Amino acid sequence: MKKKFSVFLSNVGTCSDRYCSQYATPFSIRELFKRAASIKELGGIDLVGTWNISPATAKEVAGYLKDSGLTLVSIAPDLFASPQWGKGSLSSVDPKIRQAALDQIRQTMDLTAELGCGLLTIWPGQDGFDYPFQADYLVERGWFAEGIAKACAHNPKMKIAMEYKIKEPRTHSYISSVATALLLIQEVGAANLGVALDYGHALMGYENGAESVALLKRHGDRLFHVHINDNYRHWDDDLIVGSVHTIEFLEFFHWLDRTGYEGWLTIDQFPYREDGRDAVAESAAWMSALMDTAEKMDRKELDSVLANKSAVQGSRLLRKTLLGRA
């Protein structure tokens, strides 16, 4: 599999958590592009609408892209950080909010196309619920699917990747797993609707990332984008790639290669206390090394492991591959 690494622009800067608004001096958009471009393994950039780009700044950002030599991979409309989305975007009980969300998506799609990019990423973080008896699951899911269908129809040539997550900021998300994402795709029935698989979100939902890749391949080849980070499964820690689930990443990269994934791998992490540029560079280095290691695995022996469904034989293969000890 070709190494196509990207990063969300803001990840090479500073970020806030629940307790501290910032741990370091923030950077300008120009400075963020320079910091990203200084990481040799990176070839692309993902942006968030209104955070990093708007119709008013499109030409300016286009200049930064050109100067940096980085490819625009995707833009994600902000459907999660504005107070108006607090009780949902496309699933809001307020029709004006639902329309505002759809308008935001369409505007971002137009901006994405204007910059020569063919992928939009939607993370509906505020669409869900927190309490029992708070939500009409049938009606709200219907509104959400209707909005996504309209977005897909706005520009059928543009791919839309739905990013799922089990929880946060809501205690329950409507698009919570690879299965609910596939059900939405089935309901909408649009050829340009697929999934953005965030590895950390898969971990939170107790999914096996490699199996999720296989499911997306089996059910319509709907893996449109991949976000990369690591965590301890309890929360979306957004840690350096490979820092926790090293072995599982080997299987993940193997299955990306086996299923013919040709898209980008976008680093999506929040290095609160580390220097953002350095933490992202470390993730990119780990990704490159892990992909090389996955490639070195004895494929004939691996085929035998899978054919026999042998955990012991699989452990032996991993030990030889990782540690060079038979």
Q: Residue 21: its pLDDT value, please?
A: 85
Give the model confidence (pLDDT) of 300-311 as tens digits. 999 999 999 999
With CA atoms as reference, report the closest residue to 39 among 200, 217, 311, 276. Answer: 276
Q: Residue 325: its pLDDT value, please?
A: 85
Task: Kindly report the backbone phi and psi dihedral angles of residue 71, in degrees, each rounded to the nearest multiple of 5, phi listed first.
Answer: -85, 135
* Domain segments of the chain as ranges: 5-297
The SS3 of residue 8 is strand
With CA atoms as reference, report the closest residue to 184 among 144, 130, 140. Answer: 144
CB under 8 Å to 3, separation ≥6 — which residues? 41, 265, 287, 288, 291
Q: Is 5 left (phi over 0), alpha (psi -120 to 50) or beta?
A: beta
Q: Which two tokens stand for residue 298?
A: 């004895």
Q: Which residue positions in the chain have pLDDT lower than 50?
A: none
Alpha helices in 115-242 (DSSP H): 137-154, 178-188, 199-204, 209-218
The SS3 of residue 48 is strand
Distance CA 322, CA 318 (A): 6
Strand 172-173 with 128-129, pairing? antiparallel
Contact 36, 61 (CB under 8 A): no
What is the rounded end-to-end Cα distance, in angstroms, of the chain?
A: 27
The SS3 of residue 294 is helix
Distance CA 90, CA 268 (A): 24
Contact 302, 41 (CB under 8 A): no
Indicate whether this model's pTM tops 0.95: yes
CATH topology of domain 5-297: TIM Barrel (3.20.20)
Give the model confidence (pLDDT) of 112-138 as tens digits. 999 999 999 999 999 999 999 999 999
Residue 208: C-alpha distances to residues 99, 163, 205, 211 (Å): 36, 16, 9, 5
